[in-house]
């Protein structure tokens, strides 16, 4: 049986026994790409790091901004969040009185949980400038479809009002895209996603794809679910090669080389379409 990546119980149990784990690449592999986006587009950015887990990427992001409060780290697992909070308190800059980053346990597929990141619930005013996603979308794609009432009135998308009349099952990646769009600034926010998939966002691509994630349910959008295709566009896609292990000559003679592995970094731009 594959791991139950879509369940909170799986992640809580995993993080009870896991101190550090990096998905796909080391955190410093992403720093040059993130720095370039910040320098080009967002001075003094507010960063949302989704699926922070036990990665050191959170602490690399802290080094890219002036204030720790500019970085909000979220994870499905309360255990992971508490572990990270305790780890941060042991760091030198925290002891010097700079304070810590923002850490929250959030279910990104649940509207009421996502609302905790908005200004009305004490979150970031006006939304985030940059969303960083290190294989979190990969994991979310393994979750079950999300059953949502339509119109989607219990999400704080102010334009969607009225009583729910029916329910639809929506692909989790589509739900994630809508919820992140709600937290983003139209025309400004970039969503940087590192993935093992060559087509992580098939509903935004023009290529031929028959996966469930490639098709947005037309009936659901007619009944009030925001169309994720109108909220994001792929601005850039590039290869990110993991750092290669260094071997001595004797080692190279004894072992078959692994095939080259390439991951993909997607930069999505939030469109001007309002929610």
Dist. CA 170–CA 150, nearest whole Å: 11
Walk along the chain (275 residues) and give the pLDDT tens digit of each residue. 455 666 777 766 776 776 677 778 888 999 999 999 999 988 889 999 999 998 999 999 999 999 999 999 999 999 999 999 999 988 866 656 678 999 999 999 999 899 989 866 566 778 999 999 999 999 999 899 999 988 885 454 544 445 667 899 999 999 999 999 999 999 999 999 999 999 999 999 766 665 777 889 899 999 889 999 999 999 999 999 876 555 445 444 444 445 668 899 999 999 999 98
Which pLDDT score is estimated for 50?
Answer: 98
Which pLDDT score is estimated for 247?
Answer: 47
Which pLDDT score is estimated for 176?
Answer: 98
CA distances from 135 to 20, 95, 101, 159 (A): 15, 31, 21, 31
State the angle between helix axes of 8-16 and 78-89 in degrees (0 to 180), rounded to the nearest 10. Answer: 30
pTM score: 0.88
Q: Closest Cα partner for 275 from 148, 209, 186?
A: 186
Residue tagged 């979750």 (tokens): 143
Which pLDDT score is estimated for 253?
Answer: 46
């Amino acid at each position: 049986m594959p791991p139950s990546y879509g369940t909170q119980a799986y992640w809580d149990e995993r993080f009870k026994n896991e101190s550090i784990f990096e998905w796909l690449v080391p955190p410093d592999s992403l720093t040059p790409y993130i720095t370039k986006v910040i320098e080009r587009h967002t001075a003094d950015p507010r960063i949302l790091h989704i699926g922070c887990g036990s990665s050191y990427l959170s602490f690399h992001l802290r080094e890219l901004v002036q204030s720790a409060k500019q970085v909000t780290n979220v994870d499905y697992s309360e255990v992971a969040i508490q572990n990270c909070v305790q780890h941060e308190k042991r760091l030198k800059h925290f002891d010097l009185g700079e304070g810590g980053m923002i850490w929250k346990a959030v279910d990104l597929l649940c509207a009421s949980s996502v609302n905790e990141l908005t200004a009305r619930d004490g979150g970031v005013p006006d939304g985030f400038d940059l969303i960083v996603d290190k294989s979190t979308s990969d994991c979310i794609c393994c979750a079950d479809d999300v059953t949502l009432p339509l119109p989607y009135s219990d999400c704080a998308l102010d334009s969607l009002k009225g009583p729910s009349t029916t329910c639809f099952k929506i692909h989790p990646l589509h739900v994630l895209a809508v919820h992140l769009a709600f937290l983003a600034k139209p025309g400004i926010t970039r969503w940087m996603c590192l993935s093992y998939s060559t087509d992580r966002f098939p509903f935004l691509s023009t290529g031929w794809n028959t996966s469930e994630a490639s098709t947005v349910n037309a009936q659901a959008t007619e009944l009030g679910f925001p169309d994720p295709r109108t909220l994001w566009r792929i601005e850039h896609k590039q290869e990110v090669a993991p750092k290669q292990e260094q071997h001595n000559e004797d080692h190279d003679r004894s072992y078959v080389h692994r095939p080259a592995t390439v991951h993909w970094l997607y930069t999505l731009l939030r469109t001007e379409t309002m929610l």
